[in-house]
Amino acid sequence: MKGNEALAEAAIRAGCDAYFGYPITPQSEVLEYLAREMPLRNRIVLQAESEVASINMVYGGAGAGFRVMTSSSSPGISLMQEGISYMAGAELPALIVNVNRAGPGLGTIQPGQGDYFQATKGGGHGDYRLIVLAPASVQEMADHVYLGFDMADKYRNPVMILSDGAIGQMMEKVRFYDYTPPTTPKPWATVGKPATRGRNYITSLHIQPEQMELHNNRLEAKFNEIRNNEVRFDEMETEDAEFLFIAYGLSSRICRKAVELAREKGIRVGLLRPITLFPYPYERLGILAQQTKLMLTVELNSGQMIEDVRLAVNGKVPVFHYGRMGGIVPTPEEIVHHLENLIGITHAN
Amino acid sequence: MVSLMQTDELLLPATAVEAPDTVCAPVEEEEYEVVYQRPHTLVERSMHYCPGCAHSLVHKLLMEVVEELGIQEQTIGVAPVGCSVFAYDYMDIDMQEAAHGRAAAVATAIRRLMPDRYVFTYQGDGDLAAIGIAETIHAVNRGENILIVFMNNAVYGMTSGQMAPTTLAGMKTTTSPYGRNQPMHGNTMKVSELLAQLPGAYYVTRQAVNSANAVRRTKKALLNAFKYQPQHKGTCIVEILANCPSNWRMTPVETSKFIDEEMVKTFPLGDIKVPKPETV
């Protein structure tokens, strides 16, 4: 199955009540798949007039207490940032999928990881965080849908799946494991006010400075709880690693091969693959910094995640970046070659 | 005729005064028959609106209709960004606050997911006709079964009187200080006429609240629009020409005259599109 289709099928199995989206390459398969399958199950699928409308429909549906989602690719995700900020402010759970293409601007439809900053550092205005999941396989495209919806409901916060054009388009085997959506009570939802309770309203507006700051503090406490509970990562050959690749999504797949190639050459390199980009595995990287001599982030951008790695290791070990852009994907050989050069340079120093 | 001359005097909205706990003593209460009172769907609190502003009146009319139809438990409102951003503070129903201009998209999802509910948006002309025109047109074109209450005061009220798409030709605002003229500012947009062209629009009417009769007609229009909702026939749009004393730099009485003498020339009152009689 294609990554995008696996994600769409998982959405159905996750009990997604409504999907709102707008066509954009390379993720239109999600909308197409759900346009075909959702009506057969009496669920809502709606092609909106824009990504702006899509995300606000997601806002409305989430505010009414339903499991709702949208998907898009980089330029469309930029258009959604206003709505995402409002959702974070109003504490609305929903799933947003970004099948990242290379940019900036209209860019190209080939895969990219240039939206890392946008996804993990805010993107929209104001103080908020998205929970960000980075699938590296078609299997994870499906699995992260369940995980994403559950975390969104648990924390009342939007969750983003940050995929890319390659993971979205590639075909792999996928197994949909048994999943029953949790029945998360949503007493805050606007479903019509019964006589037994006061009115519910969904808003991100707190005009009094004291009220706004209180709200900000409450959100920050929630983000800290997420930082404490939800860090997820995957490791390969790190036990004896002198050198470490750090990569997520598509570039982590290439790094797996690069680790094998380098090990054949006798270079003891490992891989840390963050699965959650927010919260980020700072702590684990800090520990790995004690045993490694050099770290290399491999990203399909000009160097974004490297800033988080540098924060994590806090100067204990040199951190470098290797990136290709424009939708060009590096080969494992290219990455090993770059690592060898870096090892040579640092040894010479 | 009232003039919309700029003045140097800065007119600020009057500060809302908290109502005392006991508004009237319950003395001799039994001697009077209650013939008119605040609908219980309207929260008992003082509103932040300026004296003479149409919002408080239309809030009350809406909530009267909700009370009379007995649909408080089935009604969800969507508030805009604008003066009525705090509408959810006054209406005792479940509500969502939408981003600027996006109310029709938000309402679309609510109504699609809960087709047995009554869903309305409450939007000003800056919200609906400028930044939210795409969401509005497409929601109406899809024939979403929602009611759009469109408050048209021809200016941006909350940001203190800038030009809106609905600003009249020649009208002075803070961003058209020499009067709106077509080459510089474009034409006045008649949104209800535009929306009525779309097949998804079921009922489109323009009303006002500047006289007792106008208020009665507006209430009737709102009542009709709510009654149509369970029929799943399409979008209802009730445009209301709204007095805005602060930003028009007029007394409330002058604003009512301005609507009758000036606004209706561009925005004539009455039904623009009415449902065709059903052939049974």
Q: Where are the domains of chain B?
A: 49-158+189-273
**According to the model, what pLDDT value does residue A237 have?**
98
Read off the pLDDT band of B27 (50, 70, 90): low
**According to the model, what pLDDT value does residue B32 have?**
86
Whether A124 and A163 have beta carbons less than 8 Å apart is answered as no
Smallest Cβ distance to B102: which of A56, A63, A204? A56
Instruction: Please state which CATH class domain A234-348 belongs to.
Output: alpha beta
Whether B228 and B235 have beta carbons less than 8 Å apart is answered as no
Mean pLDDT of B229-241: 97
For all residues of chain B together, what is the average pLDDT?
Answer: 91
Determine the residue of chain B that is closest to A46 in CA distance: B109
Instruction: Give the 3-state secondary structure of residue A138.
Output: helix
Task: Check CB contact under 8 Å for B138 and A205.
Answer: no
Maximum Cα–Cα distance across chain A: 77
**According to the model, what pLDDT value does residue B14 have?**
47
ipTM above 0.90, yes or no: yes
A70 min Cα distance to partner chain B (Å)? 12
**CB < 8 Å to B73, chain A:** 192-195
Query: At residue B5, does pLDDT exceed 50?
Result: no
Mean pLDDT of B74-91: 95
Query: At residue B48, does pLDDT exceed 50?
Result: yes
Read off the pLDDT band of B31 (50, 70, 90): confident
- Give per-residue pLDDT as tens, B238-256: 999 999 999 999 999 999 9
Written as one letter, the residue type at A168 is G
Whether B120 and B78 have beta carbons less than 8 Å apart is answered as yes
- Average pLDDT per consecutive 10 residues, chain A (349 residues; last block may be shorter): 98 98 97 98 98 98 98 98 98 98 96 98 96 98 98 98 97 96 95 96 96 98 98 98 98 98 97 98 98 98 98 98 97 98 78
**According to the model, what pLDDT value does residue B24 have?**
55
Query: At residue B39, does pLDDT exceed 80?
Result: yes
Read off the pLDDT band of B6 (50, 70, 90): very low
What stretches of chain B show up as alpha helix (H) in DSSP? Answer: 54-69, 103-113, 125, 133-142, 182-185, 191-196, 212-228, 245-248, 252-258, 264-266
Smallest Cβ distance to B113: which of A64, A193, A203? A64
Smallest Cβ distance to B114: which of A64, A68, A82? A64
CATH 3.40.50.920 range(s) for chain A read 234-348
The CATH number for A3-192+216-229, chosen from 3.90.1170.50, 3.40.50.970, 3.90.1150.10, 3.40.50.300, is 3.40.50.970
Smallest Cβ distance to A53: which of B86, B113, B138? B138
**According to the model, what pLDDT value does residue B11 have?**
45
**CB < 8 Å to A86, chain B:** 99
CATH 3.40.50.970 range(s) for chain A read 3-192+216-229
CATH architecture of B49-158+189-273: 3-Layer(aba) Sandwich (3.40)
The string of DSSP codes covering A301-335 is SSSSTHHHHHHHHTTSS-EEEEE--TT----HHHH
Work out the angle between the directed axes of helices B103-113 and B133-142 (0-180°, nearest 10).
30
Among B244, B179, B187, B248, which residue's Cα sits nearest to residue B210?
B244
Task: Check CB contact under 8 Å for B97 and A190.
Answer: no
Smallest Cβ distance to B112: which of A46, A83, A193? A46
**CB < 8 Å to A50, chain B:** 134
Query: At residue B280, does pLDDT exceed 60?
Result: no
For the CA atoms of chain A, what is the radius of gyration?
Answer: 21
Read off the pLDDT band of B279 (50, 70, 90): low
Mean pLDDT of B9-28: 51
Task: Check CB contact under 8 Å for B106 and A66.
Answer: no
Whether chain A has a CB inside 8 Å of the CB on B72: the answer is yes
User: What CA–CA distance (Å, rounded) separates B65 from B42?
Assistant: 11
Whether A222 and A279 have beta carbons less than 8 Å apart is answered as no
- Give per-residue pLDDT as tens, B86-125: 999 999 999 999 999 999 999 999 999 999 999 999 999 9
- Give per-residue pLDDT as tens, B134-180: 999 999 999 999 999 999 999 999 999 999 999 999 999 999 999 99
Helix (H) or strand (E) holding A128: none
Task: Check CB contact under 8 Å for B76 and A57.
Answer: no
Task: Check CB contact under 8 Å for A48 and B75.
Answer: no
3-state class percentages of chain B: helix first, strand second, coil last, to nearest 5: 40, 20, 45
**According to the model, what pLDDT value does residue B102 have?**
98
